[in-house]
Amino acid sequence: MAKGLTEQQDNLAIAMIRGLAMDAPLLAKSGHQGTAMALAPLAHVLYSRVMRHDPTHPTWSGRDRFILSNGHASILQYAMLYLNGYGLEIDDIRAFRQWGSSTPGHPEYGHTSGVEVTTGPLGQGFANAVGMAMAERHLRARFGEELHDHHTFVIVGDGCLMEGISHEAASLAGHQQLDRLICVFDDNRITIDGTTSLTCSDDVEGRFRAYGWNVVQLGEVADDLNALERALVAARRHRGSPTLLVLRSHIGFPSPDFTDAPEAHGNPFGAAHITATKRVMGIPDEPFWVDAEVVTALREHARARGVAARELQQAAEARADDRWHRMWNPSRSAAWSSAAPTFDPTTSVATRVAVQKAIDAARDDLPGLIVGSADLTGNTGAKMTGESALSAAHPEGRQIYYGIREHAMGAVAVGMALHGGVLPAVGTFFVFADYMRPALRLAALSRAKVIFVFSHDSVGVGEDGPTHQPVEQLASLRVIPGLRVVRPADANETAAAWRQACDHDGPTALILSRQNTPIVTDGRAVERGAAIVRDTDDTPQLNVVATGTEVALAVDAARQLGEAGLRVRVVSMPCLELFAGQDPTYRSHVLPIGVPVLSVEAGSTYGWSALADDSIGIDRFGASAPGNVALQRLGISVDNVVARARDLIDTLGA
Contacts of 536 (CB under 8 A, 6+ apart): 562, 567, 568, 569
Neighbours of 581 (CB within 10 A): 11
What is the predicted pLDDT for the residue at 2?
A: 46
The DSSP bridge pattern shows strands 614-616 and 597-600 to be parallel
Q: Which of 499, 612, 500, 502 is nearest to 547 (CA)?
A: 612
Among residues of the chain, what percentage have pLDDT more than 70? 99
Stretch 567-586: mean pLDDT, rounded? 98
Measure the CA–CA gap between 521 and 518, rounded to whole angstroms.
9
What is the helix (H) or strand (E) element at residue 508, kind and residue range?
strand 508-511
Measure the CA–CA gap between 42 and 253, rounded to whole angstroms.
13
pLDDT tens-place string over residues 39-91 = 999 999 999 999 999 999 999 999 999 999 999 999 999 999 999 999 999 99
pLDDT tens-place string over residues 153-185 = 999 999 999 999 999 999 999 999 999 999 999
Measure the CA–CA gap between 644 and 639, rounded to whole angstroms.
9
- In this prediction, residue 266 has a pLDDT band, given cuts at 50, 70 and 90, of confident
Q: What strand order describes the sheet that includes 214-219?
A: 65-68, 152-156, 181-187, 243-248, 214-219
Measure the CA–CA gap between 79 and 216, rounded to whole angstroms.
27
Q: Of residues 406, 493, 550, 601, which has the active-site annotation?
A: 406
pLDDT greater than 70 at residue 654: no
pLDDT greater than 70 at residue 3: no
What are the DSSP E strand ranges found in 179-336?
A: 181-187, 214-219, 243-248
Determine whether 406 is an active site residue: yes
**Contact 654/636 with Cβ under 8 angstroms?**
no
Measure the CA–CA gap between 12 and 218, rounded to whole angstroms.
24
pLDDT tens-place string over residues 298-338 = 999 999 999 989 999 999 999 999 999 999 999 999 999 99
Cα torsion angle, 279, 285, 290, 293, sign: negative
Supply φ then ψ for residue 150, to 5 degrees. Answer: -115, 170
What is the predicted pLDDT for the residue at 246?
A: 98
- In this prediction, residue 510 has a pLDDT band, given cuts at 50, 70 and 90, of very high
- In this prediction, residue 351 has a pLDDT band, given cuts at 50, 70 and 90, of very high
**Contact 386/462 with Cβ under 8 angstroms?**
no
Measure the CA–CA gap between 109 and 116, rounded to whole angstroms.
6
Measure the CA–CA gap between 350 and 453, rounded to whole angstroms.
14
pLDDT greater than 80 at residue 653: no
Stretch 179-208: mean pLDDT, rounded? 96
What is the predicted pLDDT for the residue at 465?
A: 97
Helices 550-563 and 638-652: angle between axes, nearest 10 degrees = 60
Measure the CA–CA gap between 431 and 444, rounded to whole angstroms.
19
Query: Which residues sit opposite 429 in a β-bridge?
Result: 455
C-alpha neighbours within 13 Å on the C-beta side of residue 613: 19
Provide the mean pLDDT of the chain: 97
Q: For the chain, what is the radius of gyration of the CA atoms?
A: 28
pLDDT tens-place string over residues 516-527 = 999 999 999 999
Measure the CA–CA gap between 177 and 392, rounded to whole angstroms.
6
Contacts of 363 (CB under 8 A, 6+ apart): 369, 384, 387, 398
What is the predicted pLDDT for the residue at 267?
A: 84
Among residues of the chain, what percentage have pLDDT more than 90? 98
DSSP 181: E
What is the predicted pLDDT for the residue at 80?
A: 98
pLDDT greater than 50 at residue 1: no
- Domains along the sequence of the chain with CATH: 7-313 (3.40.50.970), 336-511 (3.40.50.970), 525-652 (3.40.50.920)
pLDDT greater than 50 at residue 285: yes
Stretch 416-425: mean pLDDT, rounded? 98
